[in-house]
Amino acid sequence: MWILYFILPLAGLTLGWTIRWLYARYQLTASEQRAERIKQDAIKEAEAKKKEILLEAKDQIIRDRNQQERETRERRAELQRYERRVVQKEEQIDKKISQIEKTEELLSEKEKVFEQREVALGKEEERYRAELERISGLTAEEAKALIIQDLENEAKHDAQALTNKIEAEANLAGEKKARDILLASIQRLATEVTGEVTVASVSLPNEEMKGRIIGREGRNIRTLETLTGVDIIIDDTPEAVVISCFDPVRREIAKVALERLITDGRIHPARIEEIVTKVSKDISQKIFEEGEKVLFDLGIHNIKQDGIRALGRLYFRTSYGQNVLSHSKEVAVIAGILAAETGANRDIAKRAALLHDIGKGVESDSDLNHAEIGMDMARKMGEDPRIINAIGSHHNDMEPSCIESVLVQIADAISAARPGARRETLDNYAKRLKNLENIATGFTGVDKAFAIQAGRELRIIVNNDAVTEDQSRELAKDIAKKIENDLRYPGRIKITIIRETRIVEYAR
């Protein structure tokens, strides 16, 4: 019984194991079958894919081959077109060459004909020329020269007539234009009618002051005259003394010093020296300030201190009653306007115009005139050559080298000639010129005398038989000395002696 209990479980286990083994075997077989089916399906699918790829590759090869064949056909067709064009061009070139050859042959034949005609015409020309020479009595060269001369004379006459017409029109237009420019410049000028005039007299509070100015034994007046370099004239003029000096700055120092002494009341040599020293410093400072002021008003820069002081000294100088510094400023304004109107260099014109009379403000003992002194000073200051030329040529002592120099001359003349600018009347001007001529004609051997350039030059014609060359030199010196002693005038006067030899003979 107990064996059954033992066999039955064992049989159950064996049966269970066998079933499980059979089931596993069955599953293994089924898996192998599924794997085989999958493999077969994969092989079939791969075969189908391979066939599909091969078909596509064959189609692509066929398409590429067709494309290549099409391109080859197109290229072949294009080459054929090019060949046809080349053939056509060759045919055209051949035709043109043929035409050129025919043209050359024709030209060659015509050239031969022309040469034959030229030879025939040459013979005819020679025959006609010989006949013309026989009839006219002139050779060909003579006839040609005669014709050329007639043509040349006619051309010169026509050219001269045209030139005269152009010059006349240019002169009329130029005069009108110049007049318009001058009028516009003068109208734009805004200055005072008269310039400042330096007064050389001092008013006194009473007659007793004259004695105090003279001092004991004349010590006060001598001290004042020595320190200032002036002459103090005390005459019968009531309550006034006159200060005389060629140097306007010294005259101004003496005038101011004397006014201060009269106001102070203490007049003795020590006080006079103190006042004169102080006034000299004040005047020196005023000179520099006036020079700087005019430069500032005109907008001119880079003038050296010597130039500024020379300009400032012009403030105390007058010419025919016209203040020289005001005149120089006015000339600068006019020259600047003229330069702007004519297209010249405005800065150069203004600067040259301001400096044109700077030689009058230079302290110098030279015999040169103010234009030459001004040129030397401008040269030392490093001014532009055009400015130097304008200074030297503003009274025609030298030729102007640029348009700015001419503008300075014009502006100087406008400033001096405008109404009210100068106090000298026409009668006084004519009288001064007449006095110069009378002094010259008063010498033995002088035939004629002419005062020119507004009295700045005196030209004298002497008798060639009465005055020798050496005597003419002495005569010029004597006349100059006589003018210096008898007349008062601004600047200097040039004296020119002219000796002329004339030989006249008549053929009868």
Contact 462, 499 (CB under 8 A): yes
Vertex 387 angle, CA 385 and 391, to 5°: 115
Using CA atoms, how far apart are residues 158 and 167, in angstroms rounded to an integer?
Answer: 14
Q: Which amino acid is at 382?
A: G
The whole-angstrom separation of Cα 441 and Cα 444 is 8
Pick 393 or 14 by higher pLDDT: 393
Q: How confident is the model at residue 490 (pLDDT cuts 50, 70, 90)?
A: low
234 and 370 within one domain: yes
Question: Is residue 97 in some structural domain?
Answer: no
In the predicted model, what is the mean pLDDT of residues 461-475? 85
- State whether 172 and 209 are in the same domain: no
Residue 175 falls inside a structural domain: yes
Give dist(CA 96, CA 91) in Å, integer. Answer: 9
Other beta carbons within 10 Å of 455: 18
Would you state the pLDDT for residue 363?
A: 75
pLDDT > 70 in the chain, percent: 86
Q: What residues have CB less than 8 Å from 316, skipping those under 6 apart?
A: 198, 248, 249, 251, 252, 287
- One-letter amino acid identity for 148? I
Query: What is the tally of structural domains in the chain?
Result: 4
205 residue type, one letter: P
Q: Burial of 415 by CB count in 10 Å (0-12 exposed, 13-18 middle, 19+ buried)?
A: buried
Work out the average pLDDT over 466-478.
Answer: 86
Residue 431, domain CATH: 3.30.300.20
> Average pLDDT, whole number, for the chain?
81
What is the separation of C-alpha 89 from the centre of its chain, rounded to a whole number of angstroms? 66
Taking residues 322-329, report their average pLDDT. 85
Question: Which domain-ending residue is among 417, 435, 455?
Answer: 417
Lowest mean pLDDT among 18-32, 69-83, 177-191, 423-437: 177-191
> Are 408 and 289 found together in one domain?
yes
Domain for residue 29, yes or no? yes
Q: Is residue 393 part of a domain?
A: yes
Pair (444, 406) in one structural domain = no
The residue from 138, 160, 188 where one domain ends is: 188
Residue 483 domain boundaries: 426-499
Higher-confidence residue: 362 or 174?
362
Do both 129 and 217 map to the same domain? no
Both 135 and 237 in one domain: the answer is no
- How does pLDDT run across 116-150, given as a tens digit for each residue? 888 888 888 887 777 776 776 666 677 777 778 87
- pLDDT of residue 189 exceeding 60, the answer is no
CA separation for the pair 339, 348 (Å, rounded): 9
User: Is 331 within the bounds of a domain?
Assistant: yes
Domain co-membership, 144 together with 218 = no
Question: By CB neighbour count within 10 A (0-12 exposed, 13-18 middle, 19+ buried), where does 53 fall?
Answer: exposed
How large is the C-alpha radius of gyration of the chain?
Answer: 60
Task: Answer for the pair 302, 142: CB distance below 8 angstroms, yes or no.
Answer: no
Residue 78 lies in a domain: no
Looking at the fold, whether 164 and 144 belong to one and the same domain comes out as yes
- The pLDDT of 170-187, averaged and rounded, is 59
Same domain, 260 and 347: yes
Q: Are residues 183 and 213 part of one domain?
A: no
Residue 170 clears pLDDT 70, i.e. is over it: no
Given 60, 86, 101, which residue is the final one in a domain?
A: 60
What does the pLDDT read at residue 278?
Answer: 92
Mean pLDDT, rounded, for 274-295:
89
Predicted TM-score (pTM) of the model is 0.52
Q: Is the pLDDT of residue 186 over 60?
A: no
pLDDT for residue 426 is more than 60: no
Residues 6+ away with beta carbon under 8 Å from 330 = 189, 191, 415
CATH of residue 408's domain is 1.10.3210
For residues 409 and 453, the answer to whether their CB atoms sit within 8 Å is: no
Residue 108 lies in a domain: no
243-277 pLDDT, tens per residue?
887 778 888 888 888 888 888 888 888 888 888 89
Which of 90-104, 143-157, 164-178, 489-503: highest mean pLDDT?
A: 90-104
- Is 74 a member of any domain? no
Q: What is the C-alpha separation between 394 and 331, in angstroms, rounded? A: 11
Both 466 and 408 in one domain: the answer is no
If asked whether residues 134 and 215 sit together in one domain, one would say no
Higher pLDDT, 113 or 432: 113
Q: How confident is the model at residue 2 (pLDDT cuts 50, 70, 90)?
A: low
pLDDT confidence bin for 195, thresholds 50/70/90: very low
Measured in degrees and rounded to the nearest 5, phi and psi for residue 452 equal -125, 175
Residue 197 has pLDDT above 50, yes or no: no
